[in-house]
Chains A and B, each alone.
Chain A
């Protein structure tokens, strides 16, 4: 049991000790890893990093509000089969041609251990996680039309991301290893920024990060900018050849950091009324 490959992050994905511990727990216990945290803190990227670090294929399942648990297992395309039956060019007698495995199904059927990402599980109906519980637990499901069972040859590494708090049922939570991604400290942020922009000037990096944290600490922002916004913003600053930034009302490319109309208004308001920061 101890001969597994530990996850230590990748060259482009920096981790913390607790995140590594969580990923490794999930690997060893073969339980799904549930990752939560502010938008833009790299929840989805984690799955990519794990897949890269362990050299496993990544299968994604982007959950939407209309997604049903069944879609992840398999879909039986009746309409296609009916249409095909009108012309004689395809073999409609074999139902197998019309059973299409979903992401979960593919992950189970894969010939080697894969990473399965269930992205933004909170977007679906409240019952969605419960519907998947059994399949993820036992790593197998039944295809009614074929009277066959699909069972995982190798238990996939399941990574689930969620934005919302308090949305997932307890029974589901108990089966997962949980990790909450903290907002990075300025020091870690500095390292993250440098991973993305290796040729960044010292002074600009320092100023941009300082400005960013000052901006984040402003009151009344509906959507505080996060890591991905900072990385984008610095990219724009570099492209435009901006050498100095500081927090004033002429902050260049503010739109890259604040995306909401109200936030831009709040930003202007607070700068006009002097500096009133969140303590």
Chain B
């Protein structure tokens, strides 16, 4: 039961390993679950799950394994003991720390405790709630101490039972089956940092202080300097709607990763549809337009431009004047012309494309690659793109 449960968790993508299993065994040994399945549910959840996104997976795995099942005592005991022995033998797989924990739990001692616990249980077993029976003979019964000390066996009255709690699946809303997560992206974006000393003089400049003090014939002369502050300015332009819809999640993750990164001096985000023409927008709903000319006026070439888009559109949308239906006059220039203007203006720019690279030929992507340096929107691509952005020209 114990092992299938761990595997059921792993099947659902909850990363449990020896560290977690050993921690759980320790907690049970200390009698934290109070010899009840409910207690076990809460203790196991605290130790096996590390983020709320996995709570729902935990509930499902728990249900699958424990719902409506009478646990066979001997089989379970053997399972846990075997597992612990095996784990001790698999040397390479365990870290020092885990090994130390395991040694703490001597299998023989465990077995003895368990047998004792089992005897206690038989004497006391008076039918009653099936979970009392289960708890008593569960593999976690090796924590027999708790029972002998007279702590209540079975669930607490009035409380929600573990199966009921798990069944309610309260944590469905917190699921997140993410491939590329925000943190990974943030780490990739970290490379975009650069620092400059600006602002109030709050930091001691040791070298200068020594030099000045020496120049001052030994009379102390303290020199301070401004602390290092982030000095990167970023413009993020994202294609939204239409063919970009399948990538909306990926893009929103990139968006929140950039937003949350505190190491940029300035971050501007704009949206466009299909291709940049005369204007970009401050919101996803294409309100608050800003003219690209004005934008280029405001932001010097030292800003770093990141464009995110699939670069897929009908050829005329990119290549013929007035490709965008919405504009007139000067803004009727070809989409590709606008892209070239952007690319020329900024010293460093990249285009991140969520389309798989095998589709990058024989369509408008090829044209746009002629203008922008294009990278796939994967973790690797993001890493390459940030390196590219930091190269000085």
Q: Is the CB of A2 within 8 A of B156?
A: no
Name the segment of B47-55, B85-93, B311-319, B351-359 touching the other chain.
B47-55
Which chain A residues lie closer than 8 Å to B171 at the CB level?
180
Cβ contacts under 8 Å, A85 to chain B: 220
A93: shortest Cβ distance to chain B, in Å?
16
Identify B222's interface contact among A1, A24, A82, A170, CB under 8 A. Answer: A82
Chain A residue, CB-CB nearest to B184: A166
Interface membership of A276, Cβ < 8 A: no
Q: Is B159 an interface residue (CB 8 A)?
A: yes
Distance in Å from the Cβ of B1 to the closest Cβ of chain A? Answer: 19
Which of the segments B30-38, B323-331, B368-376 contacts the partner chain? Answer: B30-38
Q: A166-B183, A177-B46 are in contact. Are A1 and B29 (CB under 8 A)?
A: yes
Q: Contact: A29 with B27, CB < 8 Å?
A: yes
A17 touches B220 (CB 8 A): no
Known contacts A2-B145, A25-B27; decide if A165 and B19 are in contact (CB<8 Å): no
Count A-B contacts at CB 8 Å. 110
User: In chain A, residues 14-52, which have Cβ atoms closer than 8 Å to a Cβ of chain B?
Assistant: 17-18, 20-22, 24-26, 28-29, 31, 34, 36
Known contacts A65-B262, A166-B182; decide if A126 and B190 are in contact (CB<8 Å): yes
Interchain CB contact under 8 A, A17 and B42? yes
Contacting residues, chain B, for A2 (C-beta < 8 A) = 30-31, 145-146, 149
Which chain A residues lie closer than 8 Å to B52 at the CB level? 36, 165, 180
**CA of A31 to CA of B182, assembled, Å:** 26
Q: Contact string, B133-170, partner A, CB cutoff 8 A, digits 1/0?
A: 00000000000011001000000100110000000001
- CB neighbours (8 Å) of B50 from chain A are 34, 170, 173-174, 176, 178
- Complex interface: chain B residues within 8 A of A173 (CB): 50-51
**How does the 8 Å CB contact mask read for B20-64 relative to A, with 1 for contact and 0 for none?**
100100110111110000110111011101111101000000000
A78 to B46, CA, bound (A): 43
Q: How far is the CA of A79 from the CA of B146 in the complex (A)?
A: 56
Closest to A79 in B: B204
Contacts of A165 in B (CB 8 A): 51-53, 174, 176
Whether the Cβ atoms of A17 and B53 lie closer than 8 Å is no
Interface residues on chain B, size class:
35 or more
Q: Does chain B have a CB within 8 A of A169? A: yes
Q: What residues of A have a CB within 8 angstroms of the CB of B219 in the complex?
A: 86
Find out whether the CB atom of B55 lies under 8 angstroms from the CB atom of A166: no
Residues of B within 8 A of A232 (CB): none
| Contact count band on A | 35 or more
Contact of B186 among A22, A24, A126, A178 (CB under 8 A): A126
* Residues in chain B near residue A182, CB distance under 8 A: 170
CB-nearest residue of chain A to B26: A29
Instruction: Name A17's contact: one of B30, B51, B159 (CB within 8 Å).
Output: B159
Across the two chains, which residue of chain B brings its CB closest to A183? B170
In the complex, how many angstroms separate the beta carbon of B330 from the nearest chain A beta carbon? 36
Q: Kindly state whether residue B288 has any CB partner on chain A within 8 Å.
A: no
CB distance from B25 to the nearest CB of A (A): 11
Indicate with 1 or 0, residue by residue over B285-297, a CB within 8 angstroms of chain A CB atoms: 0000000000000
Q: Are the C-beta atoms of A28 and B26 separated by less than 8 Å? A: yes
Residues A28 and B32 in contact in the complex (CB < 8 Å), given A126-B190, A170-B15? yes
- What is the CA–CA distance of A173 and B26 in the complex, to the nearest angstrom? 18
**Contact status B20-A174, CB under 8 Å:** yes
**A25: B residues at CB distance < 8 A:** 23, 27, 32, 43, 46-47
Q: A131 on the interface (CB 8 Å rule)?
A: no
Contacts of B204 in A (CB 8 A): 78-79, 82
Best-surrounded residue of A83, A176, A180 (most CB of chain B within 10 A):
A180
Q: Is A167 an interface residue (CB 8 A)?
A: yes
The answer to whether A179 has its CB under 8 Å from any CB of chain B is yes
Nearest chain A residue, comparing its CB with the CB of B42:
A21
Q: Does B211 contact A (CB under 8 A)?
A: no
Q: A167 — nearest CB in chain B belongs to which residue?
A: B183
Partner of A178, one of B15, B51, B206: B51
Say which residue of A17, A36, A82 sits within 8 Å of B38 (CB atoms): A17
Most chain B beta-carbon neighbours within 10 Å: one of A2, A34, A166: A166
When distances are taken between beta carbons in the complex, the residues of chain B under 8 Å from A22 are 42, 45-46
**Closest chain A CB from B189 CB (angstroms):** 10
Mask, B190-226, CB within 8 Å of A = 1, is 1000000000000010100100000000011010000
Identify the closest chain B residue to A20 (Cβ). Answer: B42
B262 touches A125 (CB 8 A): yes
Contacts of B340 in A (CB 8 A): none
Q: Which residue of A lies closest to B145 (CB)?
A: A2
- Which residues of chain B are near A65, meaning CB under 8 Å? 262
- The contact sample of 23 A-B pairs, CB cut-off 8 A, is A2-B30, A2-B145, A2-B146, A17-B156, A18-B41, A21-B39, A21-B42, A21-B46, A22-B45, A29-B23, A65-B262, A78-B204, A82-B209, A83-B220, A83-B222, A125-B263, A166-B181, A173-B50, A173-B51, A174-B19, A178-B47, A179-B46, A180-B171
Binding site for A on B (CB under 8 A): 15, 19-20, 23, 26-27, 29-33, 38-39, 41-43, 45-47, 49-53, 55, 145-146, 149, 156, 159-160, 170-171, 174, 176, 178, 181-183, 186-187, 190, 204, 206, 209, 219-220, 222, 260-263
A residues apposed to B, CB below 8 Å = 1-2, 4, 17-18, 20-22, 24-26, 28-29, 31, 34, 36, 65, 78-79, 82-83, 85-86, 125-126, 164-170, 173-174, 176-180, 182
